[in-house]
Amino acid sequence: MFSAIFFVMTIIKTNIAKILGLLALALLVPSSYLGAQGLQPLKVGLIPGPDREIMERLQFLAVKRGQILELIDFPSAQECLKALAAGQIDLSVSQHRPLLDDFIAENNFNLISLGNTYSAPLGFYSQKIKSLAELSVGDKLVIQDEPDRKRRALRLLAQYGLIRLDESKAWPTKNDIIENAFHLEIIEAPVVRRYLNDDSIVAIAFTALSDEIIARTSGGLGFWSLCQEEPSAVLVNVVAARRSGRNNPRYLEFVKDYQSQDIARFLLERFEGTIIPVFDLE
């Protein structure tokens, strides 16, 4: 059970604030200490968005152990895992277990999972309609042009009977739709958030609610969830590492910090149930 302790956290977005944050970390852990220990920053790969917010929170837990996290952004989980396999980063946090397993099988990379983190069910959200029953012929839906999120969005539409996919495709795109009774126009975009105010868009797929959607939903401004993946253990995100790092103490400390009550409460409160911690608390 989680206690009813609420954190008041301001998300730092300006360059000045980030600089101040780094200075604070430097004051907490003197460089002489790091030098004496021979420690280098732990390089963590991620996709910008919720994972960066989580990692920025985690930085302040890691620093108590004398560990500095260097956060490195990648455009997709696949690029993140390629960098991990190449030794360019130490850990990757933006992939769920099936994606990691698929990537390992397809590329023969020697990667492993060090532990579970969270589940972020993908859903379609609309400011035009309140349910799938209101969809009309020719409506426009936006999905993210990132292989895994694209696959999940299309499979969610297929699950609800709106389209039928070529099941032989491991990484389907809109070109693999073989039946589309509503003649839905599927738009693949690198950034879906920019379509929020487009009057021609009926629904947008998100894996976690953006600030704007949270504000619209909570404030009663007319943004409705049409459908959502089940928060299944199959889609639990994991911390990935190279197999050689299985017993690395610094990696295991990172996982321990991630699987803490502090992070669990942060996930539940910051993301309003759209990101769910999936690990056992000590």
The pLDDT tens digits of the residues spanning 205-261 come to: 987 666 666 666 555 556 788 998 887 777 899 999 999 999 999 999 999 999 999
Domain match, 86 and 172 both: no
Domain match, 29 and 91 both: yes
Question: Would residue 3 count as lying in a domain?
Answer: no
Mean pLDDT over the full length of the chain: 83
Burial of 268 (C-beta count, 10 Å sphere; 0-12/13-18/19+): middle
Query: Looking at residue 26, which CATH number applies to its domain?
Result: 3.40.190.10
The pLDDT tens digits of the residues spanning 249-278 come to: 999 999 999 999 999 999 998 887 778 899
Cα separation, 132 vs 103, whole angstroms: 33
Question: Would residue 6 count as lying in a domain?
Answer: no
Task: Bin 24: left if φ > 0, else alpha if -120 < ψ < 50, else beta.
Answer: alpha
- Span 26-45, mean pLDDT? 61
Supply the pTM of this predicted model: 0.76
At 29 the pLDDT is 46
Give the range of the structural domain holding residue 36, as residue numbers without chain letter.
Answer: 15-120+233-277
The structural domain count of the chain equals 2
Tokens (6 digits) for 71: 């956060």
Domain match, 39 and 63 both: yes
At 9 the pLDDT is 32
Domain match, 97 and 144 both: no
Domain match, 178 and 134 both: yes
At 218 the pLDDT is 56
Beta-strand pair 42-46/91-96: parallel
Domain match, 138 and 60 both: no
Question: Would residue 32 count as lying in a domain?
Answer: yes
Query: 48, 22 in Cβ contact below 8 A?
Result: no
Does residue 15 carry a pLDDT above 70?
no
Domain match, 106 and 150 both: no
Domain match, 111 and 239 both: yes
- Span 33-48, mean pLDDT? 75
